[in-house]
Structure formats: structure tokens, C-alpha cells
Amino acid sequence: MSNGLMDDKGMGERAADDSSGSVHDADGIVGGSSGSAGFGGPEDFSSTEVAGGGLDEAEAREGAGGVRLVGPHFANVNEFLRDYLRFAYRRRIDGRNRVWAGRWWLYDEAVLRLDSIWRAWESLRLDPDTGMSVWFRDHADPHMAVLMDPDGPFAGATSEEDVNRRGDPLPYMEPPEDMFFDWSAG
């Protein structure tokens, strides 16, 4: 049964081009190994511009039938977390009431949840009306609540690199180079 974004196998389905030239595309599902490295490949991570979407030329390219295909804004989940999400969620992480791991990539469930948050953001950012509200309500807030829960995937992460002060970005350590595929490389 399809929910409009996903087909029966969990793969994105592509809507046909309408007369206005707007197309919504939910491709770009996580693939690859079950470990924390090697998520996905360049099979088809493209979204299309929503009318009035305000995309820069570096993000857009011409596709079949004149449809403007839009690549991801962030190259991968690491770039999304490093440059955006950890600043959007400025929460005090004390290792007791809320937890986080600076070395987040070592936790498979966390990588899967963060990757899901990133991919949803990439799709919903193209909706100029309620996209970000839907992203917070349906994707970011539920996943972040699980990630920060003391019984969640980061349980026990209490070293100095895993805590912060109120108002600081979430703790972050750079993962090993080439751990995550660069979707922007085309």
C-alpha cells in the first residue's frame, strides 16, 4: 500500500510532470551495507523544483522533458549534521536527562535515524508552504527525541566529548574521511 511517497518496497515513487512543470520526487532511499558506513549510492537522489522554490543554479540541472532536477543541498548526513542539525537543536546535553554522542557515526541506529532526518529535510525543503513544519513534526522531533533519550541509541555516551552547555550546538566529532557517500558529486 502506498502512502504517496513510498511504494510497497519502501522505494520512492516519482510523480509525473504536470502542466506547471512541478514534480515531486521521493527517490534517494538508504541502500548499501547495514553498518554505519556505506549508506546509499548515486542511483537516483534527485528531487525536482517546486514552483517558487528559490533554488540556486548549483543545485538545479536540466532533466528529461525540461524538468529541473534538484540535487541535495547537503552532500551527505555528516554534512547535514555538522552544518545544520546540531545548530538547529541547541539542547543541553548532560549525559543523564539528555544524551548525545560526539562520535555519532559509531551508533548504527543513530546513523539510520539521522540519515532519515536528512533525507526528509532534503525532500521537504522544496515545499515552500508547510515543508519545514511537516519536517519538524513528522521527522525531526520524533527521531531527535529517541536519539536524545537516556535509554536511546546514545545511552551511556557520557564522556567529555558527549556533553555540552545550554545554548551550545550538539556535540560533534568528524567521522573518518570517506565514511559517507558524497551525493553532491553527481
Give the residue from 181, 183, 182, 163 showing the smallest Cα distance to 173: 163
Q: Is 76 exposed, middle or buried (0-12, 13-18, 19+ CB in 10 A)?
A: buried
pLDDT mean values, one per 10 residues, the chain (186 residues): 33 34 35 34 35 45 60 94 96 95 97 97 96 98 98 94 96 92 76
3-state secondary structure of 13: coil
Other Cβ atoms within 10 Å of 40 Cβ, number: 18
The pTM of the whole model exceeds 0.75: no
**93, 163 contact by CB (below 8 A):** yes
Q: How far apart are CA 56 and CA 53, in angstroms?
A: 9
The confidence score (pLDDT) of residue 169 equals 97
